[in-house]
Structure 1
């Protein structure tokens, strides 16, 4: 485990006592055991309710979020936007200095992370391409969520290709972790 300071110039708040519990758990259960190198997270003042922070993991720029369970729909919701210099929020763009979006999910005894490369999110019109398209928030469907609508099933199918389960009752698939974080 190696820590270094990040040089990201996002609007940040001090990280003392604000690092999301899911990120602390992932570092302990996966990143440290795999000897991944990561920087200390820089907490983002906006989207703090989603544990928004930035850090580097094995030299790759990460945007981290914690998804939330919503009362009426299957899956979990998470915001993934940036604020432009003029004020309005907008989707991330393929040209932004981000490599991975890591979305942490939890329900009851289930825990895991979606580890999405920026290019994959662009292919699914979540990250904008050349300022066109993109979304400011998405719903994620971990394997323990039973989807019923055709659209949710289709979304869950491609999302699960980028999911790392972090179980508490069986071994973690470190080979999969390495593949997703390469």
Structure 2
């Protein structure tokens, strides 16, 4: 899995802890769906796909309910962060969304909100977007990091571990 290999490589640069509890999500295998943890934080990961007719990149995330129907993930059972990796020829980037923003944007189901089973993401390099896509890119941008060339390790660490109290000795000294 390309995204898992990349996750391992990039996280090795910012944390001394390794990926643990890795589970492949069979229902989302086409998008390289996996869950994992680092320390006390839990993650869900996907590889986004470029679509030929629309700007941005498409990704799915759903599970089966007790009647074997697809449903959006719930805020109660969702991991702490959703990582979406984008590979587009020479460009690489990641969105690292905390659960709280996914609840706020009605992506995870909660209370009376149905949630979504798919999402389109717009990296900072996506241009000439329609107004809806541009508005989506605007709220997504703080959670995106371009990993194509020079990596901002401080921002990467912040996106992955901002809400975790990792002891300093567990964080990688990247300076």
TM-score for the superposition, normalised by structure 1: 0.82
Alignment RMSD: 1.4
Map of 2:63 onto structure 1 = 82
Structure 1 contact 94–130 (Cα < 8 Å) conserved = no
Tell me how far 1:152 sits from its aligned partner.
0.2
Structure 1 contact 78–139 (Cα < 8 Å) conserved = yes
2:125 paired residue among 121, 124, 144: 144
Unaligned runs of 5+ in 2: 162-175
Structure 1 contact 95–130 (Cα < 8 Å) conserved = no
SS in 1 for 2:100: helix
SS in 1 for 2:27: coil
Tell me how far 1:148 sits from its aligned partner.
2.1
Q: Given the superposition, is the C-alpha separation of residues 74 and 43 from structure 1 closer, same or farther in structure 2, using an over 3 Å criterion? A: same
Structure 2 contact 78–99 (Cα < 8 Å) conserved = no
How many matched pairs? 160
Map of 1:180 onto structure 2 = 159
Tell me how far 1:155 sits from its aligned partner.
0.2
Higher share in helix: 2
Distance in structure 2 (CA, Å) of the matches to 1:130 and 1:75:
29
Distance in structure 1 (CA, Å) of the matches to 2:41 and 2:50:
28
Q: Which has the higher contact order (CA 8 A, sep 6+)?
A: 2
Which structure 2 residues correspond to residues 1-182 of structure 1 after superposition, within 5 A? 20-28=1-9, 30-37=10-17, 38-39=19-20, 41-130=22-111, 132-167=113-148, 169-170=149-150, 172-182=151-161
Distance in structure 2 (CA, Å) of the matches to 1:166 and 1:58:
23
SS in 1 for 2:139: helix
TM-score for the superposition, normalised by structure 2: 0.85
Tell me how far 1:65 sits from its aligned partner.
0.5
Tell me how far 1:36 sits from its aligned partner.
4.4
Tell me how far 1:85 sits from its aligned partner.
2.1
Map of 1:16 onto structure 2 = none
